């Protein structure tokens, strides 16, 4: 995208944005859903499950790793991906916190 002036926002706002980015693409949503379902950490399977090229899947996995939601263990000749429980809890907490407030108050009155 453009530049995103991260410096001018709080660490928390930036972290929320990063965690949201993990879910901000349907392919990454699909990856996460798959990993949640198959508790065992599949990986090459993802390429078969997703209608995307292997390079593209690998790229999405890399992003999710960078955000911290996933980590991969080399288990030759395969690589095992799984959800990072710590970061998963963080996401749960952070999204819960921001989504919690009710907006029942009518506005523009």
Query: Residue 59: which of DNA, its own copies, none does it interact with, CB under 5 to 8 A by kind?
Result: DNA
Of 47, 43, 41, 49, the closest CA to residue 84 belongs to 41
| Degrees, nearest 5: CA angle 5-8-12 | 100
Query: Residue 77: which of its own copies, DNA, none does it interact with, CB under 5 to 8 A by kind?
Result: DNA
Contact partners, residue 57, CB within 8 Å, separation at least 6: 27, 31, 46, 47, 50
- Considering the complex, state which of residue 2 and residue 101 has its C-beta at the smaller distance from DNA: 2
- By the criterion CB under 8 A, which residues form the site for its own copies? 1, 4-6, 8-10, 13-14, 16-17, 20-30, 32-33, 36, 39-41, 51-52, 73, 75, 80, 82-83, 85, 88, 91-92, 95-96, 98-99, 101, 103-105, 107-108
């Amino acid at each position: 995208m453009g530049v995103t002036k991260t410096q001018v926002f709080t660490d928390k706002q930036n972290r929320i944005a990063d965690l949201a980015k993990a879910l901000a693409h349907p392919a990454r949503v699909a990856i996460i859903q798959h990993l949640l379902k198959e508790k065992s950490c599949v990986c090459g399977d993802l390429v078969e499950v997703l209608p995307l090229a292997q390079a593209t899947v690998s790229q999405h996995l890399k992003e999710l790793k960078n955000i911290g939601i996933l980590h991969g263990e080399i288990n030759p000749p395969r690589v095992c991906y799984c959800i990072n429980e710590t970061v998963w809890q963080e996401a749960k907490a952070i999204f819960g916190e921001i989504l919690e407030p009710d907006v029942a108050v009518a506005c523009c009155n």
